[in-house]
Chain A
Amino acid sequence: MRLMVLLKLAMRSVGRNVRRSILTSLAMVLGLALLVFSRSLAEGAYDEMIDSGVRMGSGHIAIQNPEYLASRKLEYRLEEKLVNLASEMTQDVLKESLVTWVPRLSVDGLASSTAAAVPVRIEGVDPDRERTFSNIESHLKDGRYLETGDRLHAYIGTELAQRLDVQVGSRFVLTAQTATGDVEGQLVRVAGIFQTGIPEVNQSLIHIPINTAREWLHTPGAASTLAFLLKGAELTNIGVETLQLKLENERKIRVLGWQESSPELAAAIRLDSTGNYIFHSILLAIIALAILNAVMISVLGRRREFGVLQAMGLTGVETGFVVFLEGLFLTFISGVAGISAGLLFTWGLFRDGLDFSIFMEDGMEFGGQIMEPIIIPRFSVEQILISTLVILSIGTISSLYPALRASKLDVAEAMKFEQ
């Protein structure tokens, strides 16, 4: 019964001084809206980073020889039998979660023309599968991407083309150590030239048809990596765990999540996320100060009112509780308004994405991966719930001190206080 009285007093008090409540809430609402916007953008950016990273890299899940990640050598490849076994089993396990998969046969080598010899990373790819997997074709500057039926074609970066002084249709030679241990050359013709936002990629990455690579390197049916693209990054861990169990008897197979196969990307996201948490903590601290300030001013300006409450028979603790509830109400109302404003603002203005291409036409580099310049904010229910809980906690903590002050009021002194 008494609790209801205290609740009523607190609610009425928040509603009484509308201007004060609105001004107080404004700081919290703006802070929270900014928090939601910033979190949504960060979530969207991480999605984009992971998506671009796994498409250009080894997918959400990669299957490799256990030694390959550290050495990147051709000798640590998956032979045809293991490629067939792993690809079939993985497709069977991942089922609905799987979007597509690609085999890649990679080797370090040398690209030579009459103009120069440049160290490169050669990736043998299945053109049709690769087109559905990686976004490298979207960076095409000249010519075309590889197609099924291509044999002696190569897809190279702008900077490599410049250094080799080649154009679409020009020929140059790739040289690498093959599976037999011999160094052998392969003549290829430029089918297309791409340009990403990363100079290192433009200078060193070459795609050639995987069948050409297998023949040249004497590795029939082999692959360095089987890369699997899932419907969402959140499916990675469960997929990896299931596959690891299924393939635990295969000693020459290792199942990796994208965090393991792209450690630079995972580290970059962690670092960026830490920065974001610091920024958000500062925002939350400002919001906490706004609540503390608002409730404190409200307490100091209403000492006589609290004195009257105690003269009427409320205890000091109950008076403090009224103040505490006021702080909570204010926080709750501002919290709902701020999160709604943040969601509406973000969804209303940026649901199609924030286009950063004006700053980086060819995409951005993040954690060693190419990132598309358009970031679509993502609302995470978990993040919104966490933000709400954090705000309520901050409201609770920020209201404690004013509540304590109100509960310790000297009633006789408070009654002298001029309102």
Chain B
Amino acid sequence: MKTAVRTTNLWKIYPQEPDPVEAVRDISIKIETGDFVAMAGPSGSGKTTMLNMIGGLTRPSQGQISIGDQEITEMTDKDLAQLRLEHIGFVFQSYNLLPVLTALENAEFTLLLSGIPKDERRKRVLELFNKIGLSGLEDRKPGKLSGGQQQRVAVARAVVANPALILADEPTANLDSKASADLLDVMERLNQDHGTTFLFSTHDPRVMERSRRLITLVDGQIESDKRQNHLSVSS
């Protein structure tokens, strides 16, 4: 099995008075391609910091990170931006769709940045929308979509360019049970259909239950790391 993400002795220390904050302490993990992994833990345990470092949004204080076979810790900001564009998709807790764009335009944004022609972009987004239940909502601005719909658009935006890795930070935190279940169905299906690697940070038990691997962080360190029986996508 190929490795999607590898961290080696990763530290993140925020300089702060009176004492620096050690958000991540010496974490080494290896996530295999196509895995569906949840990182759980209480607030302040270092989940989001881990995702940000893996996504190249923040630099580690110490240690190495590899995405696929690329070591990213020494990359320039420009190279990191290119890496995110080509290999990583993000799903955020607050959806974070661009309010000036329609659902379709939000979803195709990364394709647009990659220079994919318009017809191809539209085809891929419409197929995806159809698959995840967003058909008919293409022209709506984010403000006219429900929370669940916005989060599905965010997922579409993250996966449409077929990145190797999706980083999802508390994706169900603002959703009700039904919308959460639907979203997890969508993500599991994409994981199975495309082999996309998913890495979540979450405190949502539903996400933890459905992940195939559950890593629990406490105070910036791994408390437990276990494989779980994977439940199939609900129909």
- The CA of A13 and the CA of B98, in the complex, are separated in Å by 10
**Contact pattern, B 41-59, Cβ under 8 Å of A = 1, otherwise 0:** 0000000010010010110
Docked pose: A415 CA to B82 CA in angstroms: 19
Q: Report whether A310 and B100 are in contact in the complex, using a CB–CB cutoff of 8 Å.
A: no
Q: Is A313 in the interface zone, CB < 8 Å from B?
A: yes
| Residues B37-89 near A (CB distance < 8 A) | 49, 52, 55, 57-58, 77-78, 81-82, 84-86
Report yes or no: B99 in contact with A315, Cβ–Cβ below 8 A.
no
Contact A12 B101 (CB under 8 A): yes
Inter-chain contact total with CB atoms closer than 8 Å: 75
Contact (Cβ within 8 A) B157 A13:
no
**How many chain B residues touch A (Cβ–Cβ < 8 Å)?**
29
The one of A5, A410, A415 in contact with B113, judged by C-beta atoms closer than 8 angstroms, is A5
A294 within 8 A of B: no
Cβ of A364 under 8 Å from chain B = no
**A410-B58, A412-B52 as given contacts; A308 in contact with B98, CB under 8 Å:** yes
Tell whether A385 is near chain B: CB-to-CB under 8 Å: no
B132 CB, min distance to chain A CBs, angstroms:
19
Within 8 A of B (CB), among A290-321: 304-305, 307-318
Interface membership of B36, Cβ < 8 A:
no
User: Complex Cα distance A346/B161, Å?
Assistant: 56
Q: For A315, what are the chain B residues with a Cβ–Cβ distance below 8 Å? A: 77-78, 81
Chain B residues near A397: list those with CB within 8 A: none
Q: Is A9 an interface residue (CB 8 A)?
A: yes
- A307: chain B residues at CB < 8 Å are 57, 96
Whether A412 pairs with B57 at a CB distance below 8 angstroms is yes
In whole Å, how far is A223's beta carbon from the nearest beta carbon of chain B? Answer: 74
Query: What is the chain A residue whose CB lies nearest that of B78?
Result: A315
A2 at interface by CB-CB < 8 Å: yes
**Residue of A15, A315, A318 most packed against chain B (CB within 10 A):** A315
A311 near B90 with CB under 8 A, answer: yes
Asked if A311 contacts B84 (CB within 8 A), the reply is yes
Chain B residues within 8 Å of A317, by CB: 78
Q: Is B92 in contact with A308, judged by CB distance below 8 angstroms?
A: yes
Q: Does A16 contact B (CB under 8 A)?
A: yes
Q: Which of B78, B90, B99, B115 contacts A312 (CB 8 A)?
A: B90
Query: Which residues of the other chain, A, contact B84 by a CB distance below 8 angstroms?
Result: 310-313
Q: Check B221 for interface membership: any CB of A closer than 8 A.
A: no
By beta carbon, the residue of chain A nearest B58 is A412
How far does the alpha carbon of A315 sit from the alpha carbon of B114 in the complex, in Å?
Answer: 13
Q: From B49, B82, B98, give the contact of A313 (CB < 8 A).
A: B82
Which residues from A are CB-within-8-Å of B86? 313
- Which of chain A's residues has its CB closest to B12's CB? A412
- Return the chain B residue nearest A410 by Cβ: B58
Contacts of A412 in B (CB 8 A): 49, 52, 57-58
In the complex, chain A residues whose CB is within 8 Å of the CB of B115: 1-2
Q: Say yes or no: B92 contacts A16, CB within 8 Å.
A: no
Q: How far is the CA of A251 from the CA of B84 in the complex (A)?
A: 82
How distant is the Cα of A176 from the Cα of B96 in the complex, in angstroms?
A: 93
- How far is B112's CA from A5's CA once the two chains are assembled, in angstroms? 7
CA distance A310 to B77 in the complex (A): 10
Say yes or no for A411: interface residue by CB 8 A criterion: yes
Cβ B55 vs Cβ A305 within 8 A: no
The answer, yes or no, to whether B11 is at the interface (CB within 8 Å) is no
B101-124 Cβ-contact flags toward A at 8 Å (1 or 0): 100000001101111000000000
Residue of B nearest to A15 (CB): B100
What are 13 inter-chain pairs, A to B, with CB distance below 8 A? A1-B112, A5-B112, A9-B100, A12-B100, A304-B94, A307-B96, A308-B96, A308-B98, A310-B57, A311-B92, A312-B84, A313-B82, A415-B52
Instruction: Give 7 nearest A-B pairs by CB, closest first.
Output: A313-B85, A12-B100, A412-B58, A412-B52, A315-B81, A411-B57, A308-B96
Q: Which residues of B contact A (CB under 8 A)?
A: 49, 52, 55, 57-58, 77-78, 81-82, 84-86, 90, 92, 94, 96-101, 109-110, 112-115, 157, 169
A308-B97, A310-B81, A412-B49 given; name 20 further pairs at CB < 8 Å. A1-B112, A1-B115, A5-B112, A9-B101, A12-B100, A13-B100, A15-B100, A304-B96, A305-B98, A305-B99, A308-B98, A309-B98, A311-B57, A313-B81, A313-B110, A314-B113, A315-B81, A410-B58, A411-B57, A412-B58
